Amino acid sequence: MDFADIAITFDKLESTSARLEMTDILAEFFSRCPAKELRSIIYLSQGKLHPDFYGVELGMADKLVLKAISLTSGKPDAVVEELWLKTGDPGQVAEQLITKKKQMTLFSEPLTLDRVIKSLTLIETAEGKDSQDRKMKHLASLLHDSGPLEARYLCRIVTGRMRVGASTMTILDALAITYATKESRPEIERAFNVTCDLGLVAETLATDGMEGISKIKVTVGDPVKVMLAERLPSIAEVVEKMGGECAIEYKYDGIRAQVHIGKDSVKIYSRRLEDLTPNFPDIAEAVKAHFKGTEAIIEGECVAVDSETGYMQSFQEVTHRRRKHGMSDAVKEIPVRIFMFDILYVDGKDMTNVPYLQRREAIKEWFDISDNVQMSTMRIVHSVQEAEDFFEDAVNARCEGVMAKSIADTSIYRAGSRGFLWIKYKKDYQESLTDSFDLTVVGAFYGMGKRAGKYGALLMATYDPETGRYGTVCKLGTGFDDAFLDNLPNLLDMYKSPEIPQSLDAKMQPDVWFQPAVVLEVVAAEITLSPNHTAGLGVLKEDTGIGIRFPRFTGRVRDDKGPDQCTTVQEIIEMYEMQSHDSDGLS
């Protein structure tokens, strides 16, 4: 397939924000795609050569890309640089300077998908002496045979700026329409949730149809989308919702780890599918050593403990393990324990369809327990009183609350879904009306007075997985210390966007826009209806969104969460309802 054909489709996707229109564009395009090329096209549409969890980024520096543009277009460095400063997007620079597709010459080669993938692979794997120069030349050679549109996307792909706006959910819709039926959509989504590999799902569907999809199972090495919990405002409601009886576990304040124990290796994935193995080499080794079988996937929470007292430390401590350098010192300085709470696979058996209590039994059966590899503390409760007593124990043990888990026969592990099979209840809920929010930064306002010239406040948004769009909920200007403010450009500037990001709806106009990427934890006094914000616009009241009042940054950058894993619109609406319900109770 010609890369130009693919670029035209990306452009069409980029010029609409309507999900149905995107689905139609994709479905029409997929119907023309050769099955064997579909996988690469899907990865490219997300700016990658591999599934998300692969961990290798193309990540060419902007300067290097500008050099390739200058070389191909024959424009002086200064012109290229000026345009880059103006647009902030090497894609737009390339599009404007590489004006039209050149005549085929002796030195031209057609720009096919195959050629693009081969060159991008060379860019990705170039190492050692002169590697930067080689990367630049591989890109220049592609640009030489590109038209403006192809150049736009090539430069966005290599610099990690590829965002055509079609969310995973939209791509799944289009795949179902093209290769199966709308009714098969949940089964296709299940296959994605247990492999996190959209390219694999698309290729399987295009090649073997739904029969192939039904054979996709949990596999060691492919991260599984994590199961998530709902929340309720009181322990009494949790117990009632669970039918008067449930399991209840400590909710540890650490980092979720999905540990894949293979025959020869161990990998730990975060909930956003990053490879955490380099950060927790001790945990990887210990979990494998405590396992009595050959292959398994377990989940647990990694928690830092005080090396002297053995007390559990806060989340902040364990995040120090995310530093890339000095890991051997960090392993000694910040001892970490894992509290295992689930098992998804063990020696040939997919455990995701097995009820909760049997999964728990399986952890006991297959793992030895020690100080640093433990099971989450759990009790079966039959009354609100028992649950409240357990909650107190959890808080005394320095946990952030409890996780109630259904023990019904239906209590399977629902990959990628948030539901009432698990319900969280945190001690924060007792102190304020609302839970904390994980929100993504989409804009910044320049400060005044002491903060002049710096980012002084941030525009924060939440995600709606049903529409694949972001909507704003607050302007955040409290809770930052000077060091954090000084560091904000380092954290945010690589996501600067010359205009409002395509996936965002906003009424406010900040000084600088950012692509949704960075997630911050925020607490707030109240959730209100707001005419200025766009999250959940029109859901509760016409032309009115949901806003949060008196937001304050807690100091936690949630780099374990991607922007599409931030608190969802639906959760905020639920919290709003919980809050009104609470105040009803008080009045």
Q: Which residues bind to ligand AMP, rule: CB under 6 A? A: 228-229, 249-252, 256, 271, 301, 341, 376, 403, 424
Catalytic machinery residues: 251
User: CA–CA separation, 406 vs 417, rounded Å?
Assistant: 15
The end-to-end CA distance of the chain, in Å, is: 66
Query: Residue 124 — φ and ψ, nearest 5°?
Result: -65, -35
The residue among 301 and 505 lying less far from ligand AMP, judged by its C-beta, is: 301
Which residue lies nearer to ligand AMP by CB, 92 or 376? 376
Q: How far is the CB of 581 from ligand AMP (least distance, A)?
A: 20
Q: How far is the CB of 277 from ligand AMP (least distance, A)?
A: 17
Q: Judged by CB, which is closer to ligand AMP: 70, or 565? A: 565
Cα–Cα distances in angstroms (integers) from residue 52 to residues 11, 48, 55, 575, in the given order: 22, 8, 7, 31
Toward ligand AMP, which CB reaches closer, 8 or 407?
407
CB of 506 to ligand AMP, least distance (A): 25
Q: How far is the CB of 415 from ligand AMP (least distance, A)?
A: 13
For the bound state, the minimum distance from the C-beta of residue 312 to ligand AMP, rounded and expressed in Å, comes to: 11
Tell me how far, at minimum, the Cβ of 570 lies from ligand AMP, in Å: 13
Tokens of 349: 């058996």
246 close to 380: Cβ distance less than 8 angstroms: yes
Q: Between 161 and 405, whose beta carbon lies closer to ligand AMP?
A: 405
Eight-state DSSP code of residue 184: G
In angstroms, give the least distance from the CB of 182 to ligand AMP: 30
Q: How far apart are CA 307 and CA 412, in angstroms?
A: 36
Residue indicated by tokens 């199961």: 227
The token pair at 514 is 């950012």
Closest CB to ligand AMP among residues 30, 429: 429
Q: Where are the alpha helices (DSSP H) in 180-302?
A: 185-195, 198-214, 235-241, 281-290
Give the shortest CB-461-to-ligand AMP separation in angstroms: 18
Q: Which is nearer to ligand AMP, 137 or 256 (CB)?
A: 256
Q: Which is nearer to ligand AMP, 137 or 260 (CB)?
A: 260
Q: For residues 341 and 514, which CB has a smaller minimum distance to ligand AMP in the complex? A: 341
DSSP 45-58: HTT-SS-GGG----
Closest CA to 377 of 344, 408, 340: 340
Q: Under a CB-based contact definition with an 8 Å cutoff, are residues 202 and 174 in contact?
A: no
| Burial track 40-77 (b if 16+ CB lie within 10 A, e otherwise) | bbbbbbbbbbbbbbeeeebebebebbbbbbbbbbebee
Cα–Cα distance measured from residue 22 to residue 11, given in angstroms and rounded to the nearest whole number: 11
Question: Helix/strand/coil (H, E, C) string of 525-566?
Answer: CEEEEECCCCCCCCCCECCEEEEEECCEEEEEECCCCCHHHC
Q: Is the dihedral of CA 61, 65, 66, 67 positive or negative?
A: positive
Cβ contact 47:162 at 8 Å:
yes
CB of residue 579 to ligand AMP, shortest distance in Å: 17
Which of 261, 170, 130, 234 shows the shortest CA–CA distance to 468? 170
Question: Which residues, including other chains, have CB under 8 Å from residue 211's CB and lie 6 or more apart?
Answer: none
Cα separation, 41 vs 157, whole angstroms: 12
Give me the residue whose beta carbon is nearest to ligand AMP. 256
